[in-house]
Amino acid sequence: MWLFNNQAKKQRTSSAVMPVLPLPTVPAHPNTQEQTSTSEPTQTHVANETHRGPADVTAVAAPAVAGGSQPDAHATPIIQPQEGEASSAPAPSQEAMSAEAVKTIEAMRKKAKRKRKGIIAGIVVLFIIAVCAIAGNMLLSQASKPHQTQQTAFVTKQNFTATIKAQGQAQAVSSTYITPEIQGIVDKVYVTEGSQVKKGDTLFTIKNQEIDDAIEAANDQLAVAKKQLASAKDGKVRAQAAYDTALKAYNSAKTQQEQAALPHPDTVFEQVVSASNACDQAQLQVKNAQKQLDKAKEHAAKRTVTSPISGSVLTLGVKQGASTAIGAGQNSMPGASQLMQIADISKMRVRVAVSELDISHIEVGQPASVTFNALEHVQCDATVENISNTTEVSAQPMPNDRESVAKYMVDVIITNPDPAIRVGMSSEVTITTKNIPDALCVPSAAVYERDGANYVRVVRGDSSNGESETTECAITVVARSSNTCVIEGLEEGSEVEIES
C-alpha cells in the first residue's frame, strides 16, 4: 500500500508545473511487508536499475487511488528489497520523508522561477541592445550628413529682358474672295492653289453666249445709227447749199418783180433747219448705240476674272467646264459662290490671347519675335500692332472657375515673313515688355516683401567658413521676372541670402 503525505498531495493537484513525489511506505512489521510483497499491484513498471548494496532496486508505480484516478507518471520510485532479503537500512520516519519531499518541491519551484526570471531578463537585455543600436544608427546618419549652409547669390550687372509669351495662328494681313459677277461656264483656269499672283493677273475666263449676242446687237445698232447720221449730214449739206444759192439769187435780182419770181431765202432756210435737226437726231442715235455697245463690252469683260490684289492663291474651288453662279462681287465676304481666295502674305499677322494679369504690361509698338511649330529654324521679328479693349467671347472666364482669367486679343505684325510660312500655322509669340541694359540683378528668391516694402539680407564677411553676419537692407524693385529682379539700393558684387 502506498502512503501519501497530505501536503504533498495538495501541492501535486494545485500545481501544473511541478510533479509531486509520493512518499515511500515503510512496513512496520515483517508480516506486513511480506503481505505487501505477495500482493499484486494494479500497475507496475521497471525503471533503470541502480546498485544499493546487495539488494536490487525495483520501481513500482503507485496503485490507483480511490475514485479511479491514475497514479502520477512522474512519481519517485520506491526502493524495496526483493523477496527473501531483509532490508539492511533503517526505515526513516514518516515526518522525515514528508519534510524531504517538501524541500524537493520547493527547490524545483525556485529553480523554475529563476529560469523564468532569466528568460525575462534576457528579453529585456535584447530590447535594450536593439534600442541602443537604432539610436546609434540615427546618430551616425545625422553625423554623416553634410552641414547645411545658407545659399547665397551676388548682385550682378546684366542686360535684363522681361517677356510675355502667348500662342496663336499666322494670318494674312489682307485677303479677298473671288466670286464671278456673271453666269456662265468656266472656259479656262490660269492658276493653281499656292500660285503667286499680281494685281490684274488673269485667274480664269467664263463663256456666256448671251453676252456675245448682246455685243453683236449693239454693234449692229451702232452701225445703223452711223448710217443714219451720215445721211442726215448729207441732207444738211444739200439744204445748206440750196439756201446759199437762193440767197445769192435773191440778192442779185435788180427789180422786185425778179425777186418775186425767185424762192425766198427764208423758205429755203427752213429746209436747212430741218436737215440740221435730222443730223442732230442721228448723232444722238449713234451716241446711244455706242453706249450700248460699250456697256455690252464692259459686261463681257467680266468673263475674264482677274486678281484684285497681289498675293498667294490660298483656296481654289474653280475648274474648267464647271458652271458659275452670280455672287456679290470680287471683294465679297465668304458666302454666295466663292471660287477662289487670294491673300496678301507680304505681311502677316498673328493674333494671340493675353491674360488680364499681363495685358497691362503690353503696349503698341513693343518688339516681339514669332516662332512656328512646323518650322523649327524659322524666327521672325514682329511688332505689337493692336490691343483689344474688350475680352473676346471665347476668352472670357467660365462662371465659378477660379483658375480661369479674362483674356484680351493682341495683334502682332510680321513685316518680312519667311516664304515658308503658311496661313494658319501654329505659332508662339514672345513680346518684350522690358529691356534694361546694365541692370543690377538678383534672384527673385532673394527678395522678400514686408509692409509694402522690398528687402534683402546682405551677407557681410566670409560666408564660406561661417564667419559672416547678415543685415536686412531695403531695396527698390525696378522690374521683375519669374527668376530675376532688377533692383536699386545695392552695389554690384554684394552678397545676399536666398530665402529657402
pLDDT digits (tens, 9 = 90+) for 303-352: 889 999 888 888 888 888 888 764 444 443 344 456 888 888 888 999 99
Instruction: Give the pLDDT score at 354.
Output: 92
pLDDT more than 70, % of the chain: 72
Question: Could you tell me how far CA 468 lies from the centroid of its own chain?
Answer: 45
The most confident of 5-9, 162-166, 179-183, 245-249, by mean pLDDT: 162-166
Instruction: Give the pLDDT score at 61.
Output: 36
pLDDT over 70 (residue 7): no
Mean pLDDT score, 152-157: 92
Supply the pTM of this predicted model.
0.49
- Here the cell at position 316 is 481654289
